[in-house]
């Protein structure tokens, strides 16, 4: 059973608007969360992370929100750009275990 779930396989957004990608997890031991971005024929690249001691982390156009009580995190991209079109994976780990669990990914399409 998947411990990290991304229930939206795809998302289409107009350029300049906000993109919101969602992720849910089931394991309460997870305390570190990451988002990765993947272009076709390339490996995933790290985007942004958040520790469970925070509920928000911001890096430029990217903000990750964590709701521990709901076991839910989201990635906000504002404003969205066509170059953001990619597959986004969320991942979770228990901080000291260095073992990561990934969601199934959400394919974001930003239309010009």
Partner 1 sequence: DAGITQSPRHKVTETGTPVTLRCHQTENHRYMYWYRQDPGHGLRLIHYSYGVKDTDKGEVSDGYSVSRSKTEDFLLTLESATSSQTSVYFCAISPGGGTSGSNEQFFGPGTRLTVL
Please give the residue ranges that form the binding site for partner 1 (CB under 8 A): 6, 9, 32, 34, 36, 41-46, 49, 51, 89, 91, 93, 95-96, 98-105
Q: Taking the complex as a whole, how short is the minimal distance between the CB of residue 108 and partner 1, in angstroms?
A: 15
- Of the pair 9, 16, the CB lying nearest partner 1 is at 9
Quick one: which H or E segment has residue 44?
none
Question: How many Å apart are CA 65 and CA 72, to the nearest integer?
Answer: 8
Closer by beta carbon to partner 1, 2 or else 81 = 2
Rounded to whole angstroms, what are the CA distances from 39 to 9, 29, 43, 80?
Answer: 15, 30, 7, 16
């Amino acid at each position: 059973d998947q411990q990290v779930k991304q229930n939206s396989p795809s998302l289409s957004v107009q350029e300049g608007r906000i993109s919101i990608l969602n992720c849910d997890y089931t394991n309460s031991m997870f305390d570190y969360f990451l988002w990765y971005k993947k272009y076709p024929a390339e490996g995933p690249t790290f985007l942004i992370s958040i520790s469970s001691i925070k509920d928000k982390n911001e890096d430029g156009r990217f903000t990750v929100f964590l709701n521990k009580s709901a076991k839910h995190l989201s990635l906000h991209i504002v404003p969205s750009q066509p170059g953001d079109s990619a597959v986004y994976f969320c991942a979770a780990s228990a901080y000291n275990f260095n073992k990561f669990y990934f969601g199934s990914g959400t394919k974001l399409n930003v239309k010009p």
